[in-house]
């Protein structure tokens, strides 16, 4: 199985441990990633607040590159990137005049034919049963709180993935691999996203609420599928503890980390030792 791959800025920068994890995990499942040649930033998080046409043109150029290279599907592991790409595709597909204008701006014929998907959708395509059959380790020691954040399931009219308020796709997969996901209240609440740079106090408050609720419902780890969520809940955890005199010690895994561990991959191959909070 080969699929187009848009890493976005985070996976080639501050969250390259996520790229390590995604690549290693999917390779173990026989999924080959074909990285988009000459990709650019999708415009998240600021473009939409500055210039609407720019906010469409940036992701549209990436869609045009994918179409040019014959990619029917494009994996964007960052939910903010995948949402931006999906929004642009939807706009271009529905508006011929806009499609022509944006195509002229980016100097590519962008028709909006390439399907954009997130990491969970790739796991669904592989098949949870097949992943379970390929597993060599059971995840019985893990009681994860599956954290979807704002953008994996929203806006529902654009993303059209899982239930926007009560998603279960991560829980279903991890249960197949022997984990015991907990039911909790904050699985789709915001972590503050890019506010980590502009208003850290807000991010620390939201992170404290998320970590506290996960622990109160018996979780011994968090599982995310978003690089920004991981930054705010893992890297910022020490700052959260300091600000709120808390004692959070919650390991935050990428979904691909736990799937990779179940497949028998070493933690180092998945980038897990590079996280800020690690298992004792």
Q: Can you give the CATH number for the domain in which 216 is found?
A: 3.40.50.11810
Same domain? For 96 and 144 the reply is: no
Give a yes or no: residue 129 inside a domain.
Answer: no
Peptide bond into 155 cis (omega under 30): yes
Residues above pLDDT 70, as percent of the chain: 98
Per DSSP, the three-state class of 75 is: strand
Nearest one of 135, 150, 15 to 77, comparing CA atoms: 15
Please count the helices (runs of H) and the strands (runs of E) in the chain. Answer: 16, 7
Kindly provide the residue ranges of all beta strands, DSSP E only, lying in 114-264, ordered along the sequence.
115-117, 144-146, 221-224, 251-254
Give a yes or no: residue 269 inside a domain.
Answer: no
Return the exposure string of 57-88: e unless at least 16 CB atoms fall within 10 Å of the residue's CB, then b.
Answer: bbbbbbbbbbbeeebebbbbbbbbbbbbbbbb
Residue where a domain stops, chosen among 117, 152, 184? 117
Reported as a pLDDT band with limits 50, 70 and 90, residue 49 is low
Mean of pLDDT over the chain: 95
Averaged pLDDT, 227-255 = 97
Same domain? For 101 and 142 the reply is: no
Give a yes or no: residue 128 inside a domain.
Answer: no
Which CATH number belongs to the domain containing residue 77 in this structure?
Answer: 1.20.1050.140
On whether the CB atoms of residues 124 and 131 are closer than 8 A, the answer is no
Tell me how far apart the 2 most distant CA atoms of the chain are, in Å: 57
Residue 15 pLDDT: 94
Reported as a pLDDT band with limits 50, 70 and 90, residue 5 is very high
Give a yes or no: residue 67 inside a domain.
Answer: yes
Reported as a pLDDT band with limits 50, 70 and 90, residue 187 is very high
Report how far residue 244's alpha carbon sits from residue 267's, in angstroms, rounded to the nearest whole number: 31
Residue 51 reports pLDDT greater than 80: yes
Give a yes or no: residue 278 inside a domain.
Answer: no
Tell me: the pLDDT tens digits for 244-274?
A: 999 999 999 999 999 999 999 999 999 999 9
Range of the domain at 9: 2-117
Same domain? For 108 and 174 the reply is: no
Give a yes or no: residue 110 inside a domain.
Answer: yes
Number of domains within the chain: 2
């Amino acid at each position: 199985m080969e699929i187009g791959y848009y890493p976005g800025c985070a996976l080639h920068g501050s969250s390259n441990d996520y790229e390590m994890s995604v690549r290693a995990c999917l390779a173990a499942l026989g999924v080959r990633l074909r990285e988009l040649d000459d990709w650019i930033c999708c415009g998240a998080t600021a473009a939409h607040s500055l210039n609407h046409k720019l906010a469409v043109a940036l992701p549209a150029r990436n869609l045009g590159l994918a179409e040019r290279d014959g990619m029917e599907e494009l994996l964007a592991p960052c939910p903010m990137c995948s949402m931006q790409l999906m929004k642009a595709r939807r706009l271009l597909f529905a508006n011929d005049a806009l499609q022509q204008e944006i195509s002229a701006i980016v100097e590519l014929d962008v028709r909006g034919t390439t399907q954009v998907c997130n990491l969970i959708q790739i796991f669904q395509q592989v098949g949870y049963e097949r992943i379970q059959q390929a597993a060599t380790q059971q995840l019985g020691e893990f009681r994860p709180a599956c954290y979807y954040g704002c953008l994996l399931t929203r806006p529902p009219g654009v993303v059209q993935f899982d239930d926007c308020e009560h998603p279960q796709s991560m829980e279903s997969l991890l249960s197949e691999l022997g984990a015991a996901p907990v039911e909790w209240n904050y699985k789709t609440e915001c972590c503050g996203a890019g506010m980590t740079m502009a208003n850290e106090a807000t991010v620390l408050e939201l992170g404290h609420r998320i970590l506290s609720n996960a622990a109160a419902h018996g979780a011994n780890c968090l599982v995310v599928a978003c690089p920004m969520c991981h930054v705010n809940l893992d890297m910022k955890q020490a700052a959260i503890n300091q600000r709120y005199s808390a004692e959070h010690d919650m390991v935050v895994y990428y979904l691909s980390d736990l799937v990779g561990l179940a497949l028998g991959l070493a933690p180092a191959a998945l980038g897990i030792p590079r996280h800020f909070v690690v298992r004792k």
